[in-house]
Amino acid sequence: MNKLKDIWSLLGNTNLMFGLIVLMILDLTVGYFMLKSHPHLFYPINDMGFLKWSATYGKNNLYETAWLYLLIFFLAILFVNTFICTTQRVTILFRNKSFSGHKFRFIIKLSPHIMHYALLIMLLGYLVSYLSSETCLSNILLPEKSIRIPDSLYEIHLNSLHIDYYQGERLQYMQDRAIDVQADLTIQNKEKIITGRLGFNKPVWFFPYSIHLKDFAPKSKSGMNRRTYINVIIKKDPGAKYYFSGMILFTFGLLLYSLHWLMERNKITKDSLLT
Amino acid sequence: MKKINHLMIGLIIILALFNGCKPENAELAKEKDAGDFTFMSIGSFSVERIADNWTEVRDGAGRTLVLIPRGTKAPDGYAPNQIVHVPVKRVVAYGYFDIAILKVLGVIEDVLVGVTAKMNDWTVPEVIKGIKQGKIAYLGDYNAIDFERLKIQEPELVLTWDPSIIPMLDKMGVPCVITSTPVAMCLSARMRFVSFLAPFFNREKEGKAYFNRVSQSLDQIRKKASNADHEPKVMWGDIYEKRVLVEPGNAWVGELVGLAQSDYMFDDVFGKSCIEISLERFLYSGEDADILFTYRTQKTGATSKAALARTNAMLAGVKPLKDGKVYSPLPNYAQSGDKLDEILMDIAAILHPECYPGHHLRYFIELPDKDPEKAV
């Protein structure tokens, strides 16, 4: 029992967290150079899923990928460390009877811990995402044509494609080059129809799928005469709901924390005026 | 606290050991035998041998295809357009390099049934012969493919760089491999691309022989260049009417220049082959460069430095045109990927002529200052 307690307090130690952060900085520095020199080894992780990537690219290129495994190991310890550390403090807060009758003050005091738990939910979400998301690459959509989402009854139809070409005079080399692209999509199955406008950094969401724009053509009015199309990535990501929930919870915690900070500041100002 | 400190020191040591550097270009040193590997990544491409009769490949766009021997049942979980029966017997190919690799594998005459360049544009004897005999069809320009004609050719596989034809090929039930990549192929990927295409034709041995040949040539270049007494500054690209295109530092030519004890001026540029940069960036490098490799051939206006300067007044200001050297690719350059070792040797001889006395260029031509005057 004592041994368990020792392990519990060792894993919840704040010094361990600082050490982990230093190690993660070192590891990520190595990772930066590995990513820069071997980008092709890491691109597939986004669409293959971590387990499959691990069994292929990861395992066969250990020199270049070891930093990532170490990072996951450190993150796992950080996860446990944050959980234990936060839980210890929350337990103390709950045991503290001075909050009885001051529910609001109690919730305010809880705000940093809410943020910590939110971070854990986000990390969990990313883990779920890397372990179990399905990604379908290179789905080519031509104007007024449809494609079916693999293993589903959904069809995606490209209604229209709007490409804005630069027409200004300030940037000569950008003349007639695409600067923005937006695609109007209809997604439908037997039961429902969804419409959405797709752009770069503006995916179309329809649970449990999301559609992301990867490429399009033509990118220029001059040069190679290319057929009009968009290339989309279709993702089915069960982890999304976790990390979005984590983000909302984190924002809530941050708001409470800001409120706490403002209240403390006002209190200090009032006290200094009185003295 | 002491325990934690010891743990941290231990982990730092593990981190340092785990992330030790691999010897430079170690992956170039030896190509594995076909039976030696279960997984092989080749730039953006990969080949995974799941079972004796089941190989999974990823093409340049990250699409997965499965190769199964003819007459065997496809494993579950793949769409019909992902299944390729090997050895493939009828191929349509867009890219010159893909076709050169078919030649390396010794299957060009047997399997190639469609191309996207006219007969007059070809320097590959096997393709010219095939078109003359009617075995190989010209399917139209890349942006206006005659799909009816393609259907008549009954290809079992299409090798292309243009993803916009995928929906049409899917309808026709023809599997398609994207052989271009979002970032330029590095030297290793260029040399090993043959290992990606070889399993489609059960020609792994031929692929390995080609790799070894190019690898030996690269070793020779490295050895000879180590004796070079200077590092020429090199740029590879061109200024067009509205665009400036160059080969990025991550492209095979950029890597080769570095490997041959030379200084590639666009080493800091990263991205796809033939990437667009600003005019200012090009001119900035042009101030110091000794050698310029232009994309233009004699057919497209690169007959002399003066002719090149006339195509764009800004280009006239770069040092290679004023007092350096400018090289233009010969018509056979783009279609000679099967002789990559000779191309690499040509480039090395251009960079360090003192190391290659008497070398005769076969794929490039040095541009004279002026066009020879026409006889009246």
Q: Count how many pairs of residues, chain A against chain B, have C-beta atoms within 8 Å.
A: 111
Per-residue pLDDT at B16: 54
Measure B234 CA to nearest chain A CA, in Å.
Answer: 22
Closest residue, chain A, to B171 (C-alpha): A147
The strand pair at A193-199 and A178-188 is best described as antiparallel
Whole-model pTM: value is: 0.83
Q: Which residue, A37, A26, A59, is CA-closest to B22?
A: A37
User: Among B13, B18, B162, which would you mutate to test the A interface (most chain A Cβ atoms within 10 Å of its Cβ)?
Assistant: B18
Residues β-bridged to residue A199: A182, A202
Angle value at C-alpha B87, between B81 and B93, nearest 5 degrees: 65
Average of per-residue pLDDT values in chain B: 88
Q: How far apart are the first and last CA of chain A?
A: 52
B27 touches chain A (CB under 8 A): no
Q: Which of A150-164, A213-227, B5-19 has the highest mean pLDDT?
A: A150-164
pLDDT (0 to 100) of residue A220: 85
Confidence of residue B36 (pLDDT cuts 50, 70, 90): low
Tell if the CB–CB gap between B183 and A23 is shorter than 8 Å.
no
Judged on CB neighbours under 10 Å (0-12, 13-18, 19+), A253 is buried
In a domain, B100, yes or no: yes
A92 and A77 share one domain: yes
Question: What total number of domains does chain A contain?
Answer: 2
Q: Which of B167, B201, B235 is the last residue of a domain?
A: B201
Pick A23's closest partner by Cβ from B11, B20, B189: B11
Helices A103-132, A62-95: inter-axial angle, 10-degree rounding: 160
Is B167–A140 a contact, with Cβ atoms under 8 angstroms apart?
A: yes
* A117/A32 same-domain check: yes
Looking at residue B174, its pLDDT comes to 94
Provide mean pLDDT across the span B223-242. Answer: 90
Query: Do the chains contact at A227 and B279, CB–CB below 8 Å?
Result: no
Per-residue exposure over B60-76, b if at least 16 CB sit within 10 Å of its own CB, e if not? bbbbbbbbbeeeeeeee
Q: Is the pLDDT of residue B25 over 50?
A: no
Q: Compute the mean pLDDT over every residue in chain A, rounded to the nearest whole number.
A: 89
For residue B21, what pLDDT band results from cuts at 50, 70 and 90?
very low
**A76 and A54 within one domain:** yes
Cβ-defined contact of A173 to B19 (cutoff 8 Å) = no
CB contact under 8 A, B189 and A176: no
Q: Dihedrals φ, ψ of B3, to 5°? A: -60, -45
- Contacts of residue A42, Cβ cutoff 8 Å, sequence gap at least 6: A34, A35, A57, A65, A68
Q: A137 vs B61: CB contact, 8 Å cut-off?
A: yes
pLDDT tier for residue B78 given thresholds of 50, 70 and 90:
confident
The pLDDT score that the predictor gives to residue B9 is: 60
Q: Which of A138, A212, A232 to mutate to test the interface with B (most CBs of B within 10 A)?
A: A138
Mutation to test the A interface, candidates B32, B161, B164, B280, most A Cβ within 10 Å: B164
Work out the percent of chain B whose per-residue pLDDT is above 70.
89
Say if B64 falls within a structural domain.
yes
Print the domain residue range for A50.
2-133+241-274
Question: Which residue in A has a C-alpha nearest to residue B81's C-alpha?
Answer: A150
- How distant is the Cα of A179 from the closest Cα of chain B, in angstroms? 15
Residues A162 and A176 in one domain: yes
| Distance between start and end Cα atoms, chain B | 94
Same domain for A77 and A198?
no
**Segments of B112-153 assigned E as strands:** 112-115, 137-138
- Is the pLDDT assigned to residue B18 strictly greater than 60? no
**Calpha distance A170→B249 (Å, rounded):** 28
State which residues form the domain around B272.
227-366
- Give the pLDDT score at B234: 96
Instruction: Give domain status of residue B331, yes or no.
Output: yes
Test B15 with A224 for CB contact under 8 angstroms.
no
Amino acid occupying residue B229 = D
Asked if B314 and B182 sit in the same domain, the reply is no
Interface of B with A in 62-81 (CB under 8 A): 62-63, 79
Looking up tokens 């999304």, which residue turns up? A240
Residue B231: pLDDT band with limits 50, 70, 90: very high
What pLDDT, on the 0 to 100 scale, is given for residue B52?
Answer: 81
Cα nearest neighbour of B185 on chain A: A40
b/e per residue B118-145 (b: at least 16 CB within 10 A): eeebbebebbeebbeeeebbbbeebeeb
All residues of chain A having their beta carbon less than 8 Å from the beta carbon of residue B239 are none
Asked whether residue B147 is domain-assigned, the answer is yes
| CATH code of B71's domain | 3.40.50.1980
Same domain assignment for residues B53 and B184: yes
* Predicted local distance difference test score (pLDDT) of residue A265: 83
Q: Is B214 exposed, middle or buried (0-12, 13-18, 19+ CB in 10 A)?
A: buried
Min Cα–Cα distance to chain B from A18, Å: 10
- Cross-chain Cβ contact A59/B20 below 8 Å: no
What pLDDT is recorded for position B131? 96
The chain A residue lying nearest B3, using CA atoms, is: A10
Q: Which residues pair with B56 in a beta bridge?
A: B48, B66
Which residues in chain A have Cβ-Cβ distances shorter than 8 Å to B242?
Answer: 173, 175-176, 222-223
Q: Do residues B259 and B354 both lie within one domain?
A: yes
How many Å lie between the alpha carbon of B374 and the closest alpha carbon of chain A? 33
Nearest to A173 among B43, B164, B279 (CB): B279
Is B62 in contact with A61 (Cβ distance < 8 A)?
no
What is the pLDDT averaged over residues B309-318? 88
Q: B10 and chain A: CB distance < 8 Å anywhere?
A: no
Residues B243 and B183 occupy one common structural domain = no
A218 preceded by a cis bond (ω within 30 of 0)? yes
Same domain membership, residue B139 and residue B52: yes
Which residues of chain B make contact with A150, given a CB cutoff of 8 A? 79
| 3-state secondary structure (DSSP) of residue B58 | strand
Residue B375 has a pLDDT of 55
Hey, is the C-beta of B12 within 8 angstroms of any chain A C-beta? Answer: yes
d(CA A250, CA A263): 20
- Test A227 with B12 for CB contact under 8 angstroms: no
Classify residue A167 by burial, with Cβ atoms within 10 Å: 0-12, 13-18, 19+: exposed
- CB A63 to CB B20 under 8 A? yes
Q: Do B7 and A150 touch (CB under 8 A)?
A: no
Q: How many of the other CB atoms lie within 10 Å of CB of B176?
A: 26
Q: Is B166 on the interface with A (CB under 8 A)?
A: yes
B196 and B231 in a single domain? The answer is no
pLDDT of residue A151: 81
Domain boundary residue, one of B137, B166, B201: B201
Q: How many domains does chain B have?
A: 2
Query: DSSP label at B121?
Result: G
Q: Chain A contact for B296, CB < 8 A?
A: no
Q: Are residues B177 and B242 in the same domain?
A: no
Do A227 and B143 count as a contact with CB atoms less than 8 A apart? yes
pLDDT for residue A152 = 85
Same structural domain for residues B192 and B237? Answer: no
Q: Do A47 and A165 reside in the same domain of the chain?
A: no
**CATH (domain of A145):** 2.60.98
Q: Tell me: do B288 and B170 sit in the same domain.
A: no
- In this structure, is residue B11 part of a structural domain? no
A-proximal residues of B, 259-278, CB under 8 Å: 276, 278
The model's confidence at residue A95, banded by pLDDT at 50, 70 and 90, is: confident
Answer yes or no: do B74 and B173 share one domain: yes
In this structure, the answer to whether residues B41 and B131 fall within a common structural domain is yes
Let me know whether A119 and A48 are in one domain.
yes
Asked if residue B192 has pLDDT above 70, the reply is yes
Write out chain A residues lying below 8 Å of B273, CB-based. Answer: none
pLDDT of residue B136: 96
Q: Is residue B7 over pLDDT 60? A: no
Q: Which residues of B touch A231 (CB under 8 A)?
A: 61, 163
d(CA B115, CA B99): 9
Which has more pLDDT, B17 or B110?
B110
B279 close contact with A: CB closer than 8 A: yes
B107 inside domain = yes
Q: Do A16 and B4 touch (CB under 8 A)?
A: yes
Query: Are B62 and A43 inside 8 Å of each other by CB?
Result: yes
pLDDT band at residue B134 under the 50/70/90 scheme: very high
Are A207 and A173 members of one domain?
Answer: yes
Q: Identify which of A5-19, A37-51, B8-22, B142-156 has the greatest average pLDDT.
A: B142-156
Q: Same structural domain for residues A127 and A146? A: no
Residue A46 has a pLDDT of: 82
- Cβ of B1 under 8 Å from any chain A Cβ? yes
| pLDDT greater than 80 at residue A123 | yes
Residue B28, pLDDT > 50, answer no
Residues A117 and A76 reside in one and the same domain: yes
Residue B361 lies in a domain: yes
Instruction: Assess if residue B5 is contained within a domain.
Output: no
> What is the rounded CA–CA span in Å between residue A31 and residue A53?
17
Minimum-distance CB partner of A63 among B22, B178, B242: B22
Q: Are residues A16 and A121 in the same domain?
A: yes
> Could you tell me the pLDDT band of residue A103, with boundaries at 50, 70 and 90?
confident
Mean pLDDT over residues B4-29, rounded?
A: 52
In a shared domain, residues B195 and B272: no
Cβ-nearest to A66 among B5, B19, B62: B19
